[in-house]
Structure 1
Amino acid sequence: MRAMSVANVWIYRATGGRVGGRWRMGSARRRPAPVCLLTTRGRKTGRLRTVPLLYLRDGGRVVVVASQGGLPTHPQWYLNLRRTPRVTVQTGDDIRLMTARTASPEERAALWPRLVEMYADYDDYQSRTDREIPVVICDPA
């Protein structure tokens, strides 16, 4: 999976998101979901780490989900941004410096139905784990 992620990041960057910018697996097979690149600073190494993630636009904000496929632990990128919330988000060929934060319970309640509408598998992921899957809001810096 890591090799696929690295390849997707490379291709996405090289093509400005024209290739790799839509997710066509699972519930998104018929209605592809948009993909962004989120770059965080590693909390242990200090190195920049980039992951491809599905995203939802909410005005000027970018919303992503720390689902990790419903695994019992949070993804590393989420732990990284909790330590250092300054992130870079690339959508297509647009790259922006943003500040990431975990959505409040009220924000999550409002955003979750829209996220599930975009990618229905999120509900399945939530049912597989005891942790509440975090919704992350990236605000313009």
Structure 2
Amino acid sequence: MPERQAVTPQPDAPHRPHPPTGWRRTVARLPVHLYRLGLGPLFGKRMLLLIHTGRTSGRARNVVIEVVAYDAQQHTWTVASGFGPKAQWYRNLRHTPQATIQVGRCFHAVTAHFLSEEEGGRVMAVYAPKHPRAARLLCSYMGFETNGSADSYRAAGGHIPFVRLEESMPAGRGPARDTERAERSDG
């Protein structure tokens, strides 16, 4: 009779936080209203307003997201989904990757590219030393334990959904300006 091999149980999937509801949702949505009031520059380059298309409604949706990495030469912004792959904005970009972002007062037409686990790990390993408190909070919030080492952040980053937003028309010319006018006319 063959011997039975011990099977090491796989750890449960990390805790994925639920989006806020009630008054917490109102507070979480406050940055969107600040952008609408023209106060986007208050957030500098650390935050952006993502204007994307709802996958079911087809209507414009807005969310403010922290920028994890910005590459001025490539005209790309990398963001993370703190609520995992089930976040509405993330699912909407999966369906329609073309979107518009507002950074400060500038609008940019972008296309979403979803990073692999390996790329996500590299992004997190670079982000963590620059913003240690924010990296610890993100990992903790999503249920990942880290010991502060680059390897632990790389491992956690492999499980966090990262999206790279590439500018469609570098230097903010062309369609991005048309989108800006359209967004302003829609309110």
Q: Which TM bucket (shorter chain)? A: 0.7 to 0.9
8 Å CA contact 1:115–1:122 kept in 2: the answer is: no
Structure 1 residue 108 displacement after superposition:
1.2
**Quick check: which one's helix share is greater?**
2
- Which consecutive aligned stretches of 4+ in structure 1 deviate over 3 angstroms post-superposition? none
**Quick check: which one's strand share is greater?**
1
- 1:136 equivalent in alignment to 2:163: yes
- Which 5+ residue runs of structure 2 have no aligned equivalent? 1-23, 146-157, 169-187
Q: Alignment partner of 2:41: what SS?
A: coil
Residue of structure 2 equivalent to 1:9: 32
* Alpha-carbon separation, structure 1, partners of 2:142 and 2:112: 21
8 Å CA contact 2:97–2:111 kept in 1: the answer is: yes
- 1:61 equivalent in alignment to 2:84: no
Amino acid at match of 1:65: A
Residues 90-120 of structure 1: CA distance to partner in whole angstroms, max 9, x if unpaired? 1101110100121123321221123333322
Residue of structure 1 equivalent to 2:185: none
Structure 1 residue 16 displacement after superposition:
4.3
TM-score by length of 1: 0.77
Aligned length: 127
Q: Alignment partner of 1:111: what SS?
A: helix
Over alpha carbons, which structure has the higher Rg? 2
Query: Percent identity among equivalent residues?
Result: 29
- Which 5+ residue runs of structure 1 have no aligned equivalent? 23-32
